[in-house]
Amino acid sequence: MYQVAVLAFDGVFASALTGVVDLLNLTGVTWNRIHDQPLDRQFKVQVVSRGGQPVRCTNGIRMAVDAPMEQIDSADLVVVPTIGGELETVLRNEQEVLPWLRFLYQGGADLASNCTGAFLLAEAGLLDGRTATTHWGFSQQFRQRYPQVNLTERELITRDDNIFCAGGGTAWRDLTILLVERFCGADLARELARAFVIDVRNDLQSIYAGLPTRTYHQDDQVQAIQSWIHEHYRNSTSLASLAERVHLSPRQLQRRFTTALGEPPLQYLQRVRIEAARKMLERGATNLAKLSEQVGYQDVSSFSRLFKRHTGLSPSHYRQRFARTGTLQDS
């Protein structure tokens, strides 16, 4: 059987931990039971923590573990679940975990993180120069803290060599199915998904993403441009006119904005407009031409292409999925 260590720590999100344990432990089991076939367990899963101490999950549950992490000197797979507690506190308290993660990775273990668990992999330096994802709501904080990581928060799951990262929420389900396919093949992965009625999709995490409400920089001039964009996103503007508002050259604003937020100002403006359009669609907007004009675009087809590039869905499909009533019309 494949040896798996699932890391537990104070502040872990309980369902992201126990859900992965359940799915891996029941690979080759639940489907076989349903069909009266011999059990064919594939994984031996151990939940581990520093010193083998019980952990307190964010929902208040106190959870015992199987072993101290220090006793695990080899594994086929190490899973880092979601950090549900305050990030800075967990990262500060779990510094002893970092060399252990590096040691197992150097020994050939696959690494997988869910949601904000990617912060621990990045803190260990294991994502430097690699592609990764995390929960979209923490992407700005992640990018500020780990600029050497190629963060692609639009993606639900990333793989770079044998390091896997999943985005937010219940993405651990999709991640676990993918890991089962990697270790056990596509047939067992499909059986597991069907046994647990998991609809494995290739959605982008950006379907669910909004704009972060908090900024993790102290550049007052960039913040001033952010505020103006949020209030006047319907208006036509240019990089030069934005720069003039804060008495910078266009090149200076471009550089400082990108340093602070990971993207240039006009790209940020696009995201603000798309977010406004998403909210209108969710509230029931049905006229696509009127909607596109309200968020600053005169050409409906250009707006539709841009919306799909940002969210992975056309405006009509987005509305069908997230609004309760009505039909989106082109005029």
pTM of the model: 0.68
Q: What CATH number has the domain spanning 2-207?
A: 3.40.50.880
The predicted pLDDT at position 211 comes to 59
The predicted pLDDT at position 282 comes to 81
Query: What CATH topology corresponds to 220-322?
Result: Arc Repressor Mutant, subunit A (1.10.10)
Distance, CA of 208 to chain centre:
10
The predicted pLDDT at position 199 comes to 76
The predicted pLDDT at position 216 comes to 63
**Amino acid identity of 82?**
T
Q: Where are the domains of the chain?
A: 2-207, 220-322
Domains 2-207 and 220-322 share a fold: no
The predicted pLDDT at position 331 comes to 42
The predicted pLDDT at position 207 comes to 46
The 3-class secondary structure across the chain, one letter per residue, is CEEEEEECCCCECHHHHHHHHHHHHCCCCHHHHHCCCCCCCCEEEEEEEHHHCCEECCCCCEECCCEEHHHCCCCCEEEECCECCCHHHHHHHCCCHHHHHHHHHHCCCEEEEEHHHHHHHHHCCCCCCCEECCCHHHHHHHHHHCCCCEECCCCCEEEECCEEEECCCCHHHHHHHHHHHHHHCHHHHHHHHHHCCCCCCCCCHHHCCCCCCCCCCCCHHHHHHHHHHHHHCCCCCCHHHHHHHCCCCHHHHHHHHHHHHCCCHHHHHHHHHHHHHHHHHHHCCCEHHHHHHHCCCCCHHHHHHHHHHHHCCCHHHHHHHHCCCCCCECC
Are the CB atoms for 2 and 76 separated by under 8 Å?
A: yes
> Would you write out the chain's pLDDT as a tens digit for each of its 331 residues?
899 999 999 999 999 999 999 999 999 999 999 999 999 999 999 999 999 999 999 999 999 999 999 999 999 999 999 999 999 999 999 999 999 999 999 999 999 999 999 999 999 999 999 999 999 889 989 999 999 999 998 888 898 989 999 998 789 999 999 899 889 988 888 899 899 988 766 555 554 455 555 566 788 899 899 989 989 999 999 999 999 999 999 999 999 998 888 889 999 999 899 988 988 888 888 799 999 999 999 999 999 999 988 888 899 888 887 775 545 555 4
The predicted pLDDT at position 326 comes to 47
The predicted pLDDT at position 325 comes to 52
